[in-house]
Amino acid sequence: MKSILSTEWKNLLRMPGMVFVLLVLAAALGFTAWAGLEEYRVVARMETEAKTHLRQQWESMGPSNPHSAAHYGTYVFKKNHALTAFDEGVNGYVGRTLYLEGHRQNELVQSDAAQGDILSRFGKLRPALILQIILPLLLLLFAFQSVRGERDADRVRILLVQGVSYSKILFGKLWSLWIPGMLFVLITLGIQISLLGFSTHLLGRALLLAIGYGLFYWIVIALALWLSSKTEKSYTALSWLLGIWIVWVVFYPKVTYSVAALLYPLPDRVEFSAGMKEDRSALLDGHNPEEEALKSLEDSVLQAYGVSSKEELPINFDGLLMQADEEFGNRVWDKHFGELYQQMQKQKSLVQWASLPNPFGNLQSLSMGAAGTDNFHQVDFLQEAESYRRVFIRTLNERHAYGGSRTGDWGHKEDQEFFNSIADFQYAEPPFLSLISQQMPSLLLLLAWIGLLGIGLAKVKPKISAL
């Protein structure tokens, strides 16, 4: 095997133009890796600055009314995952800044969420783009060329007469291409990670990326070797391979996403907010204290304190009222968002499983997932931000209710210390294990391909060209 590897490498390196190809590839990877890092840093710095600035404003607000503060609101940022420098995924066009406010459950849900995964390919240049499309295409061509060479130069017979099996030659060729392909992936990841600063978290994700790309390259090379050995005329294999490539990369993803969108349609943003509004107006609204449901809340509070009017309450009833309204709004949001989320999950798993004939789709899903830039991460951010908003608003409402003011007193002010005690939003990305389980179908499908092609390579008979 060692001698096959070294011979294949000599053959590759001495191919005319090879050095040029390698240089261009390395330069393209270097450039995109740098550009990705640079942009990640600039965005991260800007966000940190904005965040600090906003917090400063919050902390220098001075004594204020809690309800005004709830309307003053706050901004939260989805901190970009560092590996966005590797694969930008959906990050290029989804909102990553949310404005959080009292009784306004955020609606910033991507209605075209499922389309997200496909659009990403036309996003910014990132190493992932080169490592997903250009490098594998080169590997495919080299694999084809390598088998074609043996066939057309009538070397197959001489090789086999030396006592080596054809499958051993094929596996030698497979590894001889897979290893350099993986070197490009590992070096790119290695450089980016070392510049980003090592952390076990980052390493885990980088490992998942490396595994994904490794499996995919294996599949591409094995398929090319197998097909090139199989066809009657060696060049027929090339047409097949290029055809398969175009279907994988261009047609198939489009078709599956369209089918998913047809089967599990998502409301667009207007429909989504209209639906929420409708459900909300069906019940109470904190600013119109005439509703019936409100009456019963009022009655029970009055009863609990043993008084007969709101004005006699030792607390500020407006705070309770607003919180009740808030919680109703939350239920509406949960219902609508839950439905949307389910539809998205259905779309996602349909697309994932429908990628059985398309390992490229599986790689994309894995790559974005591991880089923390897919829709799963985006939705997770929205949910985290919404949970934060709820705690944030509840804290303010409760202060409004129990902070010493009486019902109807909108001028009461809390001091700065109270506002300072409300923590800033910190986005924590989903745990590694949930990422793995999310990506399991993709991993399994890639492994299934490897199993099939492994058998194919072990069994394929060489074509003896010369008569």
List 155, 233, 254, 277, residue binding other proteins (CB under 8 A): 155
List 17, 62, 163, 306, residue binding other proteins (CB under 8 A): 163
Burial 235-274 (b: 16+ CB within 10 A, else e): eebbebbeebbeebbeebbeebbeebbeebebbeeeebee
Of residues 146 and 365, the one with the C-beta less far from other proteins = 146
Q: At closest approach, how far in Å is the CB of 178 from other proteins?
A: 20
Of residues 12 and 189, the one with the C-beta less far from other proteins = 12
Is residue 49 a contact residue for other proteins (CB under 8 A)? no
Q: At closest approach, how far in Å is the CB of 218 from other proteins?
A: 24
Q: At closest approach, how far in Å is the CB of 14 from other proteins?
A: 4
Q: Which helix (H) or strand (E) holds 368?
A: helix 359-370
Residues 307-326 that bind other proteins (CB under 8 A): none
Q: At closest approach, how far in Å is the CB of 16 from other proteins?
A: 9
The answer to whether the beta carbons of residues 419 and 64 sit under 8 Å apart is yes
Q: Single out the segment in contact with other proteins by CB under 8 A; choices: 1-9, 107-115, 267-275, 417-425.
A: 1-9
Of residues 71 and 157, the one with the C-beta less far from other proteins = 157
Is residue 459 a contact residue for other proteins (CB under 8 A)? no
Is residue 187 a contact residue for other proteins (CB under 8 A)? no
> What DSSP line would sit under 326-348, residue for residue?
HHHHHHHHHHHHHHHHHHHHHHH
d(CA 226, CA 455): 10
Of residues 160 and 448, the one with the C-beta less far from other proteins = 160
d(CA 278, CA 45): 40
C-alpha count within 13 angstroms, C-beta hemisphere, residue 341:
16
Of residues 163 and 411, the one with the C-beta less far from other proteins = 163
Q: At closest approach, how far in Å is the CB of 10 from other proteins?
A: 6
List 45, 71, 157, 335, residue binding other proteins (CB under 8 A): 157
Token pair 């989804």 in the structure block, residue: 94
Which DSSP letter does residue 181 get?
Answer: H
Is residue 304 a contact residue for other proteins (CB under 8 A)? no
List 19, 26, 27, 153, residue binding other proteins (CB under 8 A): 153
Residues 196-225: x where in contact with other proteins by CB under 8 A, - otherwise, as a string? ------------------------------
d(CA 286, CA 461): 77
Residue type, 284: L
Q: At closest approach, how far in Å is the CB of 210 from other proteins?
A: 31
Residues 51-70: x where in contact with other proteins by CB under 8 A, - otherwise, as a string? --------------------
Let me know how many helices (H) and strands (E) the chain has, helices first.
18, 2
Of residues 16 and 411, the one with the C-beta less far from other proteins = 16
List 49, 112, 154, 409, residue binding other proteins (CB under 8 A): 154
Residues 11-40 that bind other proteins (CB under 8 A): 11, 14-15
Q: Please give the size of the binding site for other proteins, defined by CB under 8 A.
A: 21
Of residues 1 and 255, the one with the C-beta less far from other proteins = 1
d(CA 88, CA 38): 13
Cα–chain center distance at 32: 19
Is residue 239 a contact residue for other proteins (CB under 8 A)? no
Is residue 263 a contact residue for other proteins (CB under 8 A)? no
Sign of the four-CA dihedral 346, 347, 352, 357 = positive
Is residue 335 a contact residue for other proteins (CB under 8 A)? no
The answer to whether the beta carbons of residues 35 and 87 sit under 8 Å apart is no
d(CA 139, CA 451): 20
Instruction: Name 206's Cβ contacts closer than 8 Å, sequence gap at least 6.
Output: 83, 189, 193, 370
The answer to whether the beta carbons of residues 318 and 70 sit under 8 Å apart is no
d(CA 262, CA 202): 36
Is residue 7 a contact residue for other proteins (CB under 8 A)? yes
Q: Where are the alpha helices (DSSP H) in 403-431?
A: 416-421
Of residues 11 and 68, the one with the C-beta less far from other proteins = 11
Of residues 5 and 187, the one with the C-beta less far from other proteins = 5
Q: Single out the segment in contact with other proteins by CB under 8 A; choices: 20-28, 151-159, 438-446, 447-455.
A: 151-159
Cα–chain center distance at 174: 31
d(CA 4, CA 48): 53
List 23, 27, 125, 164, residue binding other proteins (CB under 8 A): 164
Q: What residue ranges bind other proteins (CB under 8 A)?
A: 3-4, 7, 10-11, 14-15, 153-155, 157-164, 464, 466-467
